[in-house]
Structures are given as C-alpha cells and as structure tokens.
Amino acid sequence: MKIINIKTYPVWIGHRNQCIIKVETDEGVSGWGEAGLSGRELAVAGAVNHYREFLLGESPMNIDALWQRMYRSQYFEGGRVLTAAISAIDIALHDIVGKVLGVPVYQLLGGKHRDYIPCFATTGSPTYEQLLENVKLLLEKGWNVIRMGSAHIDWGDPRIFEPRESIGLTAEWFIKIREAVGLGPVLGIDYHHRLSVAEATSFCQRMPSGTLDFIEEPIRDESPEAYATLRTMVDIPFAIGEEFASKWQFLPYIERGLTNFARVDVCNVGGFTEAKKVAGWAETHYIDLMPHNPLGPICTAATIHLAAAVPNFAWQEVRVSPTEAQSYPDEEIFPIQHKLQGTRFPVPNTPGLGIECNEEYLKAQAFKFWEAPHLRRRDSSYTNW
C-alpha cells in the first residue's frame, strides 16, 4: 500500500478556518487529519504540501518512522507550524491503518482503558447572575467539571483588557460561585495566558484556598522558570500544555511538576505518536491528561481515541454543552461524527477515527483571512489575547 496523494483544505467553516487534510492511498483507503494551529492555517498547509513531496510512494503503515522522517528531516527541526502539519498527517495515517486493519484507532495505541470519555464544559457570562445561572444549569444537566472564563468587563471597547481590573472582579465572582455550589463540583478558570506572574499571584491570593481546582494558562508558557516562580506563590493546580508542539516542550513542565493537568493537543503536539509519549511521561509523574479540543469533529475524534487509550486521564474539553452552541452546520460537513451522550463520549468501535467528511463541501469552501483580537490596555500598549 502506498500514499498517492495528500490534500490540504485550509478553509472557512462556521466562525473560523480549519486546516483539514486528507491522505489517499493506492488501495482506495483514505484518512482524515486536522492541524491545530488556529489562525495560521495557510502556513501549516504549506508545510503539509512540503512533506507531501517525500511522503508520496511511502507506506502509510510505517507511521512511527514517517513521523521521525518528517520531524528530523530538516536542519531546523520542530516548531509549531511544522509540528501541526506532522500532527495532521499522523492522525490521518492512524485513520488509514485503523481502517485497513478494521479496528478503531485506540486499538493501535494499546486498546481501551475505559468505556466512555468524561468531559468538561466551558461557560462565561457578562454578569455574575448569568454566570451563576449557567453554572447551575450545567450542574443540573450532570456537568460536574466546569471551566469558567474571566469576568467580562465593559471597557467601552472590546479590544481593551485591563488585567488588574479583571482579576479583582473575577476572584469576587468565583468566591461566590464556590459558596453557591458547594465543595463537590470541579471548578476551574482559563485565563488564556493574559496575566503576569504578579497578576496571577494576586488573582489566586484573593480567593480562599480550594475555591478553584485548576487554573489554565494564567501566564504565557515560553518560560518554565516563570511558572516555577508562580508555583512558589500559589497553590492552585496548573493546567498547561495546549500550545506545546513536542514532548520536549512538555519536558520541563512534567519533570519539574509545573503542570498538574497536561493539556495535550493531539493536533498540535505531533499527533498520536507524540501524544502517547507525553501521556506515558505524564503517567510517571502522576499527572492526568486534560486534552485541549477546540476545533472540529476530526480533532474531537482523535482526542476520544487518545483518551480511550491512556490510563492517566481526567476530562476531555468539548465546546458543545448546554451553555455553548454549535456554530456551524457540522452535520453537512461531517455526516458521521462522534456525538456526546450527556456529559461524555461513548468509546466507539468503528474502524479508524470513526468519522466521515464531506469532501465536496470542503472543496466548495475558501480560506477567509481572520486574525485573533489584538488586545490593548487603556494606555494603548499591546497585551495578550
């Protein structure tokens, strides 16, 4: 069996571009993959097209060797663009091999550890009252792991973000939310790496210990040293890793105990091949995976198979819950996909990833330039989105 084509579809779907790829073989079996570097889809598609040149004619069965070849074939190895491209190809190759052998992808990863994949929900709101209502609605529907956003403040311009004003109000809201829901539910926040070390510390210190079960990306992740400093000043578990593009980026965070939930992203870290290594490494430090899953049904399917195949697992991110609506006609694009049952995904038994993609729909779509908001402080200086 040989790879005869790799197609890239960096196209606008719903409210964003998605970088979807298809690997075709001479035996008629094909596989789907997705790259996770949102906002830079054309760069990733370019990298996929480059790899295509030396993958044509290769056997899709040699996944691990092809991963090494893609990662190590260049002098300037690694980086988010290249690894997102490798991720998409690696996922598609697993889809192909699963289909050829007639087994779900998790069987290729060692078999399943669980019958269903528990998930967490995300919610936010412009007012405290609405946030409390959303949290109560989620709890009523069985979602007992809830990630919240920071308090929304009307600064008169959606491009403004003032960290100091945000942390005071957000802490105030969360103290009240914890009092309202009791000690049972798991509550966390994603601060979207918008704070400095000092701001993140002040935020955590404004709440009684135990208010939050995790804080996701309080600061940017370029510096494990900064996280090590923050670790000495706050006692909330960290959930970090969604931007990491290799096991080597996870290295200091796992080895030095700087992430407590590994937010591995299959579509960014290097596909299943790299994600399984990160999972094993995290297992040696008693760290559970809490995978990042913000894209479409291919990413969701890949994450389900990874989640099924590792012992150390907490919850999978989903962006569809009673407080988050689906934003695009995904049934038309992905006529077969994995659907939530309540708060969890059943572990599938169909071969490969278990999804089907409407290629004609993708062919009819175009790339649309989109840029994440460029946030500023009131003094006009640039700050993180």
In the complex, the residues that contact Mg ion under the rule CB under 5 A are 190
HSE, CB side, 13 Å, CA atoms: give it for residue 110.
14
Shortest approach of Mg ion to residue 41 CB, angstroms?
19
Shortest approach of Mg ion to residue 242 CB, angstroms?
5
d(CA 298, CA 371) in angstroms, rounded, equals 23
Q: Which C-beta is closer to Mg ion: that of 109 or that of 299?
A: 299
Cβ proximity of 75 and 271 under 8 Å: no
Q: Name the pairing type of β-strands 344-346 and 116-123.
A: antiparallel
Please give the structure tokens belonging to residue 368. 């649309």
Q: Which C-beta is closer to Mg ion: that of 37 or that of 347?
A: 37
Q: Which C-beta is closer to Mg ion: that of 34 or that of 190?
A: 190
Please give the structure tokens belonging to residue 264. 């591995």
Shortest approach of Mg ion to residue 317 CB, angstroms?
8
Q: Which C-beta is closer to Mg ion: that of 24 or that of 243?
A: 243
Q: Treating both helix axes as pointing N-terminal to C-terminal, what angle do 80-101 and 41-55 enclose, rounded to 10 degrees?
A: 60
Q: Which C-beta is closer to Mg ion: that of 9 or that of 313?
A: 313
Mapping DSSP to helix (H, G, I), strand (E, B) and coil, where does residue 238 land?
Answer: strand
Residue of closest CB approach to Mg ion: 190
Shortest approach of Mg ion to residue 243 CB, angstroms?
8
d(CA 131, CA 177) in angstroms, rounded, equals 8
Shortest approach of Mg ion to residue 37 CB, angstroms?
14
Q: 101-105 — which CB contacts under 8 Å span 24+ positions?
A: 101/351, 102/351, 103/351, 104/305, 104/308, 104/347, 104/348, 104/349, 104/350, 104/351, 104/352, 104/354, 105/272, 105/302, 105/305, 105/352, 105/353
Shortest approach of Mg ion to residue 216 CB, angstroms?
5
Q: Which C-beta is closer to Mg ion: that of 190 or that of 213?
A: 190
